[in-house]
Chain A
Amino acid sequence: MTALGKLLRTTAFKLTLVYLSIFAVFAVFLLGYFAWNTRRLITEQITQTVDAEITGLAEQYRQGGIRRLVFIVEARSRRPGSSLYLLTTPAGEGLAGNVGSLSAGVLNSTGWEETAYRRLDDLDGTQHHALVRVFQLPAGFRLLVGRDLEERERLRDIVLAAGRWSLAVVIVLGVAGGLFVTRRVLKRVDAMTDTTRQIMEGDLTGRLPIAGTGDELDRLASNLNDMLERIEGLMHGLKEMSDNIAHDLKTPLTRLRNRCEEALRLAEDESQYRRALEGTIEESDALIRTFNALLMIARAESGQARDGMIDVDAAEIARGVGELYEPVADEKGIRLRVEAPAPVPLKGNRELISQALANLVDNAIKYGVSTPIEMNGAEPEIVITAVPDGERIQLTVADTGRGIPEADRGRAMERFVRLEQSRSLPGSGLGLSLASAVARLHGGELRLEDNRPGLKTVVSLPRSGHAALAQ
């Protein structure tokens, strides 16, 4: 496609053409209206002066008879100008005036008529047009008074010429302007097209250029950029997840396989086979759990679980989870308390929020215990709270354990990351990232804070569920 062809095919140029046509039609109409009105005005003026003149001449005739009229008509005929006069006998012979010849039959009827004529003093005999009125005098004389229409015709020519010129100017300027505007728009759209092609070729880091004018193209570009941001995030998550699956599911799968091979090779009696099989089932259950957690995170992150948002009470969720884990904590010598005195309503998915909170409490029970020396005689405690926080709500789980050093907190929320101190304990390493995914699904966030001593995990959610989709 040639550059010009491309230019002419753009929406902007087509729009320009439409505007141009509308404008041209409007200009023609305006000029036409002006011309028609002027012409009407001129005609009106002629008829008025002619009428007045005829009235005057008729008066002269009544007072001084035909001789006086002939005298006056002769005198007026000699004056230069556009006025026409002709006085005839009842038989139609000319008595006085400056009209040489007329179209046939004009004199036979009285009233207004547009006619071609020749002037008496005009020797080359060109035809002119005139607007005339024939008046019947008493005794059969006829008086014709009129005005040449040259003036009116000249005006028509002027208007026509003006029309042609202005139309030409409008079209030339319009097309040029259209091309100019189109080129500018096209340049920006071309830049966008280039970026999208680059993105399509696999480079997701590309972003559309923003001119900074805040116009509709900018708005479009910035929305598309947001979309790209989200897609890049999702793609990144997907890639990370497949890497992690490859890495962290293959390890237990290898273990599983080794165990089976070992049993085949070494087992000597039924009880050894049985033990190997039991181990295999346990291992596969752990694998299924990890897999389920991964699926759930992926699901929460893609926003598929948004349908289940209903009115729930965070305080009730906190009490429910607290009640579920209280005996487990108690067994480990940890006091578990729930501080949720008043209802904390929000829109959300009860099941998912419960699961997220359960993961946090589970973590707190597993990792929230320090050695007695570190505790310095204080009783280990886990406190779950649910409190409103302006337009948001906060669900927190605070323990009195060793906590996580500030530098490690960001990493702790990543999938499969298990900090050094927790490697010896069972767990998939997905608890925090699942809680974080659930929080983001609700338009909120998960934060890790210092409980001095211990760790405080905070799930902050907007009351309205996923109203704020800011990610």
Chain B
Amino acid sequence: MRLLIIEDDRDAADYLAKAFREVGHMAELAPDGEEGLALALNGQYDVLIVDRMLPRLDGLSLIGTLRSKGIETPALILSALGQVDDRVKGLRAGGDDYLPKPYSFSELLARTEVLARRRGGREETVYRVGDLQLDRLSHQVVRGAEEIILQPREFRLLEYLMKHAGQVVTRTMLLENVWDYHFDPQTNVIDVHISRLRSKIDKGFAQPLLHTVRGAGYVIRDR
């Protein structure tokens, strides 16, 4: 995955670049909005990571300019402003995801990977992971030969996990995409929902599919 990190805080940018390279991605840096825009216009990137407050050209205007020129590279906005309306503004300006500072790298990584994959990813009707199968039209979930009955929300949880099969999704990603909540529910409500789902799809099968990734989130995969 090729990334462009547009961030004026040198330390933060270096830290991010290093962390992304450690997990095998390529990361380029731009220290201000104008340089970031020039690079984003010419280079081929899978995801842009844009700080909202940048010298010379702010993050939202940068993304707006890119979009008006027809460049649809997914952009993730980093911002110290974490309130609901700031998020809405960021997404309205053409951003694809919004992560308030301070964030954990595992959260940023998970979101970036999901954004990179989303591009060009076609919307399938049936998701398959190992012998687990989810039909988005008939809302039917089958593991092996056995049909699994899920509550509507459990279905959407599984659907989101399977859509991003093999990718780590974080608790906040689940809360945002499955429940459409952008606040912190204090208690680990997501963990409880996941363990319920796990008891339905993994219990009694030799091969577990739904895995917990320590310090990051969850992933569904057949290995």
Using CB atoms and an 8 Å cutoff, list the residues of chain A in contact with chain B.
281, 284, 288-289, 292-293, 295-296, 299, 304-305, 307-308, 320, 323-325, 327-328, 331, 349, 351-352, 354-355, 358-359, 362, 365-366, 427-428, 431
By the criterion CB–CB under 8 Å, are A362 and B185 in contact?
yes
Q: Taking the nearest CB of chain B, how far is it from the CB of A389, in angstroms?
A: 26
The stretch of B18-26, B53-61, B113-121, B176-184 in contact with A is B176-184
Knowing A292-B82, A296-B83, the reply to whether A354 touches B183 (Cβ < 8 A) is yes
By the criterion CB–CB under 8 Å, are A327 and B189 in contact?
yes
Q: Taking the nearest CB of chain A, how far is it from the CB of B19, in angstroms?
A: 15
Task: Choose one: B83, B104, B186; the contact of A362 (CB below 8 Å).
Answer: B186
By the criterion CB–CB under 8 Å, are B83 and A305 in contact?
yes
Cα A176 to Cα B189 in complex, Å, equals 78
Give the 3 A-B residue pairs with the shortest CB-CB distance, closest first: A355-B183, A327-B192, A351-B84
By the criterion CB–CB under 8 Å, are A328 and B189 in contact?
yes
B196 contacts A by Cβ under 8 Å: yes
Knowing A362-B187, A427-B186, the reply to whether A299 touches B181 (Cβ < 8 A) is no
Known: A288-B102, A289-B184, A351-B181. 19 other contacts (CB 8 A): A281-B104, A289-B186, A292-B184, A295-B82, A307-B85, A324-B179, A324-B185, A324-B189, A324-B193, A325-B187, A328-B192, A351-B84, A351-B183, A354-B181, A354-B183, A355-B183, A365-B187, A366-B187, A428-B186
B153 contacts A by Cβ under 8 Å: yes
What residues of chain A lie closer than 8 Å to B83, measured between beta carbons?
295-296, 299, 305
Residue contacts A-B, CB under 8 angstroms, 8 given: A295-B82, A299-B83, A328-B189, A328-B192, A351-B183, A354-B183, A355-B181, A366-B187
By the criterion CB–CB under 8 Å, are B181 and A324 in contact?
yes
What residues of chain A lie closer than 8 Å to B82, measured between beta carbons?
292, 295
Cα A304 to Cα B102 in complex, Å, equals 22
Task: Choose one: B84, B104, B179; the contact of A349 (CB below 8 Å).
Answer: B84
Among A281, A355, A362, the most chain B Cβ lie within 10 Å of the Cβ of A355
Cα A400 to Cα B153 in complex, Å, equals 27
Q: Taking the nearest CB of chain B, how far is it from the CB of A177, in angstroms?
A: 56
What residues of chain A lie closer than 8 Å to B196, measured between beta carbons?
327
Q: Closest B residue to A300 by CB, please name it.
A: B83
Task: Choose one: A288, A327, A351, A365; the contact of B193 (CB below 8 Å).
Answer: A327
What residues of chain A lie closer than 8 Å to B213, measured between beta carbons?
none
Cα A431 to Cα B184 in complex, Å, equals 11
What residues of chain B lie closer than 8 Å to A358, measured between beta carbons?
181, 183, 185-186
By the criterion CB–CB under 8 Å, are A320 and B84 in contact?
no
Cα A324 to Cα B186 in complex, Å, equals 12
Q: Taking the nearest CB of chain A, how far is it from the CB of B119, in angstroms?
A: 28
What residues of chain B lie closer than 8 Å to A304, measured between beta carbons?
85
B149 contacts A by Cβ under 8 Å: no
What residues of chain A lie closer than 8 Å to B183, measured between beta carbons?
351, 354-355, 358
Q: Taking the nearest CB of chain B, how far is it from the CB of A263, in angstroms?
A: 18
By the criterion CB–CB under 8 Å, are B85 and A305 in contact?
yes
For residues 83 through 134 of chain B, which have their beta carbon under 8 Å from a beta carbon of chain A? 83-85, 88, 100, 102, 104
Q: Closest B residue to A327 by CB, please name it.
A: B192
What residues of chain A lie closer than 8 Å to B184, measured between beta carbons?
289, 292-293
Among A352, A358, A359, A366, the most chain B Cβ lie within 10 Å of the Cβ of A358
Among A281, A289, A299, A324, the most chain B Cβ lie within 10 Å of the Cβ of A324
Q: Closest B residue to A363 by CB, please name it.
A: B186
Cα A304 to Cα B89 in complex, Å, equals 14
By the criterion CB–CB under 8 Å, are B187 and A320 in contact?
no
What residues of chain B lie closer than 8 Å to A359, measured between beta carbons?
186
What residues of chain A lie closer than 8 Å to B85, measured between beta carbons?
304-305, 307-308
Q: Taking the nearest CB of chain B, how far is it from the CB of A400, in angstroms?
A: 19
Knowing A351-B182, A359-B186, A431-B186, the reply to whether A308 touches B88 (Cβ < 8 A) is yes
| B184-201 interface bits toward A, Cβ cutoff 8 Å, 1 = contact, 0 = none | 111101001100100000
Cα A284 to Cα B103 in complex, Å, equals 11
What residues of chain A lie closer than 8 Å to B84, measured between beta carbons?
305, 308, 349, 351-352
What residues of chain B lie closer than 8 Å to A325, measured between beta carbons?
185, 187, 189
Cα A359 to Cα B100 in complex, Å, equals 21
Cα A293 to Cα B185 in complex, Å, equals 11
Cα A325 to Cα B193 in complex, Å, equals 9
Q: Closest A residue to B152 by CB, please name it.
A: A323
Knowing A305-B83, A351-B181, A354-B181, the reply to whether A331 touches B186 (Cβ < 8 A) is no
Q: Closest B residue to A308 by CB, please name it.
A: B85
What residues of chain A lie closer than 8 Å to B104, measured between beta carbons?
281
Among A352, A354, A366, A431, the most chain B Cβ lie within 10 Å of the Cβ of A354
Q: Closest A residue to B185 by CB, please name it.
A: A358
Q: Closest A residue to B197 by CB, please name it.
A: A327
What residues of chain B lie closer than 8 Å to A365, measured between beta carbons?
187
What residues of chain B lie closer than 8 Å to A284, measured between beta carbons?
102
What residues of chain A lie closer than 8 Å to B179, measured between beta carbons?
320, 324
| B153-173 interface bits toward A, Cβ cutoff 8 Å, 1 = contact, 0 = none | 100000000000000000000
Cα A362 to Cα B184 in complex, Å, equals 11
For residues 192 through 217 of chain B, which have their beta carbon under 8 Å from a beta carbon of chain A? 192-193, 196
Q: Taking the nearest CB of chain A, how far is it from the CB of B68, in angstroms?
A: 25
Cα A39 to Cα B113 in complex, Å, equals 104
Q: Closest B residue to A320 by CB, please name it.
A: B179
Q: Closest B residue to A358 by CB, please name it.
A: B185
Cα A428 to Cα B185 in complex, Å, equals 12
Cα A256 to Cα B99 in complex, Å, equals 24
Q: Taking the nearest CB of chain B, how far is it from the CB of A300, in angstroms?
A: 10
Cα A52 to Cα B88 in complex, Å, equals 99
Among A281, A284, A325, the most chain B Cβ lie within 10 Å of the Cβ of A325
Task: Choose one: A281, A307, A323, A352; the contact of B153 (CB below 8 Å).
Answer: A323
What residues of chain A lie closer than 8 Å to B102, measured between beta carbons?
284, 288
